């Protein structure tokens, strides 16, 4: 019985979307390691350089540059256009990076209290898809309580996703026309 329980726990750990989320912490500095002059196997590491105004997210085999826009609140489409004009996309949540950005969103000052993320649905009850093609599960660690609800208080279908201050920066589905801050992400 104990062995069976341990095997089940091990399987859950291996198959869990949380696997490796807490092993590496976001880092902003890389130190190049030179190749040895003779013999042995050497490794080189690329220095990941972010454009002005962007910061580096690097953890768990995921690397990209990002920036929060908390001053100019915009609808989802305009936020996407702003990111695209900088050679970026609107941030597409992944399990590990979302936990990092959730904490960072709470520390942003500015006029915008909520932040668009790159996830949309086509209809109520249809899973949200990220701008990079992934599917967002309708549960933790992403959504706030009762979310995605699918409709607002007036019966309009909410097709875009935000990191919502009202939900402690867990995700909320919202009308795409509402003005919010946003996060741009750029892969080099």
| List of domains in the chain | 67-186 (3.10.100.10)
3-state secondary structure (DSSP) of residue 78: helix
At 69-111, the pLDDT tens digits run 999 999 999 999 999 999 999 999 887 788 889 888 988 988 9
C-alpha R_g of the chain = 19
Strand ranges inside 45-186, DSSP E: 55-59, 62-74, 89-90, 115-120, 128-130, 135-136, 160-164, 170-174, 180-186
- Cα-Cα-Cα-Cα dihedral sign, residues 115, 79, 120, 135: negative
Residue 146 has pLDDT above 80, yes or no: yes
Query: Which pLDDT band holds residue 15 (cuts at 50, 70, 90)?
Result: very low
- For residue 67, which phi and psi values (nearest 5 degrees)? -150, 140
Mean pLDDT value across residues 44-65:
79
Q: What is the pTM of this model?
A: 0.74
């Amino acid at each position: 019985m104990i062995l069976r329980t341990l095997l089940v726990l091990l399987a859950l750990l291996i198959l869990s979307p949380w696997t490796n989320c807490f092993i590496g912490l976001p880092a902003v500095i890389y130190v190049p390691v030179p190749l040895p002059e003779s013999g042995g196997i050497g490794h080189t590491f690329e220095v990941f350089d972010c454009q002005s105004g962007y910061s580096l997210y690097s953890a768990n085999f995921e690397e990209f540059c990002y920036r929060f826009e908390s001053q100019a609140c915009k609808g989802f489409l305009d936020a996407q256009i702003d990111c695209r004009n900088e050679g970026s996309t609107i941030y597409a949540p992944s399990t590990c990076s979302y936990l990092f950005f959730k904490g960072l969103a709470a520390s942003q000052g500015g006029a915008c209290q909520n932040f668009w993320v790159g996830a949309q649905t086509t209809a109520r009850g249809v899973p949200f898809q990220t701008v990079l093609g992934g599917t967002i599960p309708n549960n933790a660690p992403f959504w706030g309580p009762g979310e995605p609800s699918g409709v607002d208080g007036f019966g309009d279908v909410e097709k875009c996703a935000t990191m919502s201050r009202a939900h402690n920066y867990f995700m909320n589905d919202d009308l795409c026309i509402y003005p919010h801050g946003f996060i741009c992400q750029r892969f080099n």
